[in-house]
Chain A
Amino acid sequence: MTFSPRTPIQSSQGSPFARIYGMSGYSPSRIVTNEEVCTWIESSDEWIRTRSGITERHWATGEETVEYMAAEAAKKAIERSGVPVEEIGAIIVATVGWFTQTPSLACVIAGDLGSKAAAYDISAACAGYSYAIAQGDALVRSGAAKYVLAIGVERLSDLTNKEDRSTAFIFGDGAGAAVIGPSDEPGIGPVVWGSDADQGHLIQQVPHWPQAVEDGKQPVLVMDGNPVFKWAAFTVCHYAAKALELAGLKPEELDVFVPHQANDRITQAMVRTLKLPESVLVSHNIAHTGNSSAASIPMAIEALYQDGKVHSGETCLIIGFGAGLVYSGQVIVLP
């Protein structure tokens, strides 16, 4: 059927490309060591380290709410970007930790920042940050927004079952943000994203909220670790390779690899499967943060900046994967 508007309308015109202007990560102040975890579950520091690579994780204090951590990360990213708040046209928050159905956390953050931008939350678990970057890239290139603030924030400590030996040691809290805007050169590569709902049962919140309210108990995350490990290490890494290929990079041309910090054994398996050369800097930030879902990638990049290991202009492959199941990855040029 021919498309013929009775009266032609105008469309928006965006920038040819987008890039990241400023990034940030926020680590909450309370450090929970493996020794402390072993007071809740029967385990050992050595077992936790060898199975996950985690030596400690950051958990939020009572004051470090999801809103607080997201706002802190946002302010830092905006300051580093040099972009005036009023120029930001959209705010996207990726989280599974905002327990208020409405208003969205993005709207609350807009209020905290004094912004009138379009604001909405997305639910893509551990892939959330990459999803948000992909949307920011698309919004800038479509002209829907000149600048986009993308935030990943989690308080998985709220969803941790401290009696579950298989997950109690894994999760952490934190936040990270990025300001995305127009560019004359590509600064964000094509996204490779998708879902695999057949395996959705492998990572779940149990029970759903109405049941939790009836039970008077907070829901928790449950995970079937081994199948998730297999999916992440061997299926998701093909999507990472695809994102690298679509960005036009060979493995030896990549500077930095920051996979979602889910388990260092997954990272190690991915590096082997992707055949990344030793010249590629790989983040193992999970050792100090645990798995902080949508916040893990920006927190890991922040740590690399703080250690002076990464620099502006370097290419960085990010890949998020998690509950859904969902995955998302792209190459970004570090600001």
Chain B
Amino acid sequence: MATTEQILAAMGEIVNEVAGIPVEDVKLDKSFTDDLDVDSLSMVEIIYAAEEQFGVSIPDEESKNLKTVGDAVAYIERATN
């Protein structure tokens, strides 16, 4: 069972690898597009990497609602716990 902190840390690594954003900038209240400048294709890669890492499925219609890092972390937390 992954904790919020563990999921956030993993998301930081994923966002860093896909979009080159420093891990420390990836915080719960940050918007992927407005704050982290993640474009739609990078978002697809981030979602895919998260699905692989946590063994969850994030359908396209759900991924559109994941505006902030916190949204994604909460979704993964619900899906894994």
Residues of A within 8 A of B39 (CB): 50-51
Q: Which residues of A contact B (CB under 8 A)?
A: 50-51, 225-227, 229-230, 233-234, 263, 265, 269
Q: Is the CB of A265 within 8 A of B41?
A: yes
Q: Is the CB of A229 within 8 A of B60?
A: no
Residues of A within 8 A of B44 (CB): 226, 229-230, 233
A50, B45: Cα distance in complex, Å: 15
Residues of B within 8 A of A263 (CB): 41
Known contacts A227-B60, A233-B45; can you find 6 more A-B pairs with CB under 8 A? A51-B41, A226-B40, A230-B44, A230-B48, A233-B44, A265-B41
Closest to A263 in B: B41
Total residues of chain B contacting the partner, CB 8 A: 8
Residues of A within 8 A of B48 (CB): 230, 233-234
Closest to B42 in A: A265
Q: Which of B40, B43, B45 contacts A269 (CB 8 A)?
A: B45
Q: Which residues of B contact A (CB under 8 A)?
A: 39-41, 43-45, 48, 60
Closest to B40 in A: A226
Q: Is the CB of A226 within 8 A of B60?
A: yes
A153 → chain B closest CB, angstroms: 28
User: What are 22 A-B residue pairs whose CB atoms fall within 8 Å in the complex?
Assistant: A50-B39, A51-B39, A51-B41, A225-B40, A225-B41, A226-B40, A226-B41, A226-B43, A226-B44, A226-B60, A227-B60, A229-B41, A229-B44, A230-B44, A230-B48, A233-B44, A233-B45, A233-B48, A234-B48, A263-B41, A265-B41, A269-B45
A291 → chain B closest CB, angstroms: 15
B56 → chain A closest CB, angstroms: 15
Closest to B51 in A: A234
Closest to B41 in A: A265
A239 → chain B closest CB, angstroms: 16
Of B39, B41, B48, B60, most buried by chain A (CB within 10 Å of CB) is B41
Residues of A within 8 A of B60 (CB): 226-227
A287 → chain B closest CB, angstroms: 16
B38 → chain A closest CB, angstroms: 12
Q: Which 5 A-B residue pairings sit nearest by Cβ, starting from the closest?
A: A230-B44, A265-B41, A226-B44, A234-B48, A229-B44
B68 → chain A closest CB, angstroms: 19
